[in-house]
């Protein structure tokens, strides 16, 4: 009987099903098929035999990875880049939003905002091209730093500077754009609160501490928790545009390692295993972050 | 407006605050200005110069001439336009299909389908299995390898669905009573009344496709298919002299490292200027996009 109803429904709403079909097909092909393909992490994949026909080797790829020279370096770099980005990159848009919020002139405000969005619209390849040019031995940034006594060398060849360059250029590109969401939260604060505070004699600093910050705290907390959920992921795109073999020591992260081993050295099974390890940790972190978010702020992704 | 006069401390703060924000704006803007000035400068003067540029050193359009004559740039632009137009068009169509179907309460297993889709945001098979799938589909070295795998963004789908759900049910019901089918309802009613959302989605998909280079790098072999960003990568990152000029010019230019530098600056301007000229006018849509995305349904 039930299938009879289903059939009737299909007939009545056939166009809706026709619409959803390609969408489901897309996700099955480009998301779930690769998830099935993950089993090659436990196999000795050879293109001739295919995913299904390759021989099982159990956890060998994982034990190889965890006993390799790289494992500590990769995990350390992945986490350190995230920590630096959290310490410097996370508060930057909040501070910018607070500063912009203190401006009275509408025109000045709009101008600053529009200009600060500009780097967001420059493509990553061009941003990295500019970074490479500016940090060359005779580049703009190298020259400016030399006024402060830094010896002019190619800054991207120096492993100890890679994270600084990565994180600071990220702030440059994202700070204005990141401030949008906080500015929106700031504009939603009831002006009566400020008037009341002024009548009570609170100056602007006290108003910021007692009214502004508490009002945007929920936004900050949610974004912070989501940020913590991605502590083990760093995109490979910017890394592989900026790193070189002399900076692998500090620059190589798990995702860039997967790209190099997998696609440049065609070590499919091994790099799939490394990628799977990273995916699983990310997944767990997001679940935990979401759980905490629901507890703390009653807001969650699902 | 202000209820009381500003204290001295507040006045000092105001001065500092303006100064800091002007400094921030300068730092955001200056790198592009530097590149712009450098792109017009005489390469011989530029090579000797160190540090900040306040104006172009001399004036030459030689760099731009080389860039505009470079067939790689032209074909890169052409390919990118194809990828952006076809990709964005298909993306919008499929996202609208999905968003509309999933906003209808008639759809069976709606919840299950949403879980299936949302799950892909949090877990993926990873780069290598994804690559092998595209390989098995025989898409390697075709334009479809750039367009198909990134067609639907889960995030955009959810945002569009949320927007469609806010359309009054009565509007859709009355159209259906008049005999309209779901395709007609979607194209004649739902999409037209969701103008702002559709504009935001168009921009997000178009900018995403414009900026993307990684899939093109791993999937394409033929230079004739390369999008602009991949050509830029060769010129700006790999420092590849052959990518910078017409082939017959390459031999002449190897000895003029000066021109290599100039060509890089001009390439940046030529490839970035269109977006930088457009974004101040489109930014309100982008800002709206950030806002829609941040709201929970």
Report the pLDDT averaged over residues B60-72. 89
DSSP code, position A44:
E
Shared domain check, B131 and B45: no
Shared domain check, B107 and B54: no
Shared domain check, B15 and B133: no
- Percent of chain A at pLDDT above 70? 98
Within 8 A of B218 by CB-CB distance, chain A residues are: 263
Q: What residues contact A144, with CB distance under 8 A and at least 6 apart?
A: B51, B52
Q: Return the axis-axis angle of helices A2-12 and A14-27, rounded to nearest 10°.
A: 100
Q: How far is A97 from chain B (nearest CA, A)?
A: 10
Give the residue among B192, B158, B157, B156 at the shortest CA–CA distance from B172: B192
The residue to which tokens 């401390």 are assigned: B9
pLDDT in tens, A92-102: 999 999 999 99
Check residue B255 and give its pLDDT. Answer: 46
Residue in chain A lying closest to B286 (CA): A177
Q: How far is A193 from chain B (nearest CA, A)?
A: 13
Q: How far is A27 from chain B (nearest CA, A)?
A: 7
| Number of domains making up chain B | 2
Contact A120, A141 (CB under 8 A): no
Residue B138's SS3 state is coil
Within 8 A of B137 by CB-CB distance, chain A residues are: 29
Shared domain check, B141 and B56: no
Written as six digits, the tokens of A194 are 């400020």
DSSP code, position A137:
T
Check residue B74 and give its pLDDT. Answer: 92
Shared domain check, B255 and B121: yes
Side-chain-side CA neighbours of residue A201 (13 Å): 0
Q: Would you say the C-alpha torsion A192, A198, A204, A205 has a positive or negative sign? A: negative
pLDDT in tens, B100-128: 999 988 788 888 999 999 999 888 989 99
If one counts every other C-beta atom within 10 angstroms of the C-beta of residue A75, the result is: 16
- B51 touching A (Cβ < 8 Å): yes
Shared domain check, B145 and B47: no
The closest CB to that of B182, out of A19, A32, A126, belongs to A19
Written as six digits, the tokens of A290 are 């979401």
Within 8 A of A32 by CB-CB distance, chain B residues are: 116, 120
Residue in chain B lying closest to A36 (CA): B125
Shared domain check, B22 and B104: no
Report the pLDDT averaged over residues A20-26. 96
Residue A292 — very low, low, confident or very high, per pLDDT cuts 50/70/90? confident
If one counts every other C-beta atom within 10 angstroms of the C-beta of residue A1, the result is: 4
The closest CB to that of A195, out of B3, B181, B280, belongs to B3
Report the pLDDT averaged over residues A219-237. 84
Shared domain check, B41 and B109: no
Shared domain check, B244 and B174: yes
Within 8 A of A237 by CB-CB distance, chain B residues are: 213-214
Least confident segment among A167-176, A292-301, B13-22, B34-43? A292-301
Shared domain check, B282 and B152: yes
If one counts every other C-beta atom within 10 angstroms of the C-beta of residue A235, the result is: 13
Query: What range does the domain containing B14 cover?
Result: 1-60
Shared domain check, B216 and B97: yes
CATH code, B104 = 1.10.3720.10
Check residue B110 and give its pLDDT. Answer: 87
Domains for chain A: give ranges and CATH numbers: 2-56 (no CATH), 74-126+155-297 (1.10.3720.10)
A268 phi, psi to nearest 5 deg: -60, -50
- Whether residues B107 and A276 touch (CB distance < 8 A) is answered with no
Shared domain check, B1 and B55: yes
Domain stop point among B27, B60, B93 = B60
């Amino acid at each position: 009987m039930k299938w009879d109803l289903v059939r009737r429904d299909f007939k009545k709403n056939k166009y809706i099903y026709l619409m959803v079909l390609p969408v489901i097909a897309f996700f099955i092909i480009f998301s779930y098929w690769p998830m099935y393909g993950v089993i090659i992490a436990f196999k000795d994949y050879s293109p001739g035999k295919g995913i299904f026909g390759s021989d099982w080797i159990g956890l060998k790829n994982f034990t190889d990875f965890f006993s390799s020279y790289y494992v500590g370096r990769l995990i350390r770099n992945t986490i350190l880049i995230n920590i630096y980005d959290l310490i410097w990159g996370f508060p930057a848009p909040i501070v910018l939003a607070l500063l912009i919020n203190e401006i009275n002139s509408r025109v000045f405000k709009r101008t600053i905002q529009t200009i600060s969005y500009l780097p967001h619209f420059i493509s990553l390849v061009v941003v990295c091209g500019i970074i490479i040019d500016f940090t060359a031995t005779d580049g703009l940034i190298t020259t400016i730093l030399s006024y402060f006594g830094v010896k002019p060398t190619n800054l991207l060849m120096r492993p100890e500077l890679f994270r600084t360059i990565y994180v600071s250029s990220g702030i440059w590109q994202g700070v204005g754009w990141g401030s949008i969401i906080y500015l929106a939260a700031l504009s939603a604060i009831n002006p009566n609160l400020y008037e009341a505070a002024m009548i009570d004699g609170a100056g602007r600093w006290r108003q910021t501490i007692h009214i502004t910050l508490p009002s945007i705290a929920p936004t900050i907390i949610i974004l912070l928790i989501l940020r913590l959920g991605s502590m083990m992921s760093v995109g490979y795109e910017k890394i592989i545009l900026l790193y070189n073999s002399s900076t692998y020591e500090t620059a190589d992260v798990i995702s860039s390692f997967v790209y190099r081993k997998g696609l440049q050295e065609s070590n499919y099974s091994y790099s799939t295993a490394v990628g799977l390890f990273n995916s699983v940790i990310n997944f767990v972190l997001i679940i935990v972050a979401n759980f905490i978010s629901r507890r703390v702020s009653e807001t969650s992704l699902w | 407006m202000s209820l009381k006069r500003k204290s001295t401390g507040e006045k000092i703060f105001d001065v500092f605050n303006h100064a800091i924000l002007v400094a921030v704006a300068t730092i955001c803007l200056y790198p592009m200005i530097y590149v712009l000035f450098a792109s017009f400068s005489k390469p011989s003067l530029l090579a000797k110069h160190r540090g900040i540029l306040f104006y172009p050193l001399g004036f030459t359009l030689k760099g731009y001439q080389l860039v505009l004559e470079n067939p790689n740039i032209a074909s890169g632009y052409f390919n990118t336009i194809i990828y952006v137009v076809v990709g964005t068009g298909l993306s919008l169509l499929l996202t609208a299909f999905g968003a509309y179907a999933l906003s209808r309460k008639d759809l069976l297993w709606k919840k299950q389908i949403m879980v299936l889709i949302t799950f892909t945001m949090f877990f993926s098979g990873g780069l290598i299995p994804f690559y092998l799938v595209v390989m098995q589909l025989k898409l390697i070295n075709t334009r479809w390898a750039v367009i198909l795998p990134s067609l639907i963004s889960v995030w955009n789908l959810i945002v569009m669905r949320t927007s469609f759900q806010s359309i009054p049910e009565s509007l859709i019901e009355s159209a259906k009573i008049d005999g309209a089918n779901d395709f007609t309802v979607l194209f004649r009613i739902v999409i037209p009344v969701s103008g702002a959302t559709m504009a935001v989605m168009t921009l997000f998909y178009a900018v995403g496709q414009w900026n993307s280079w990684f899939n093109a790098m791993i999937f394409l072999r033929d230079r004739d298919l390369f999008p602009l960003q991949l050509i830029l990568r060769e010129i700006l990152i790999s420092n590849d002299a052959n990518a910078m000029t017409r082939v017959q010019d390459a031999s002449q230019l190897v000895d003029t490292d000066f021109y290599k530098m100039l060509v890089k600056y001009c390439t940046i301007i030529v490839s970035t200027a269109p977006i930088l000229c457009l974004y101040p006018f489109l930014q309100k849509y982008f800002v709206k996009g950030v806002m829609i995305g941040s709201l929970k349904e």
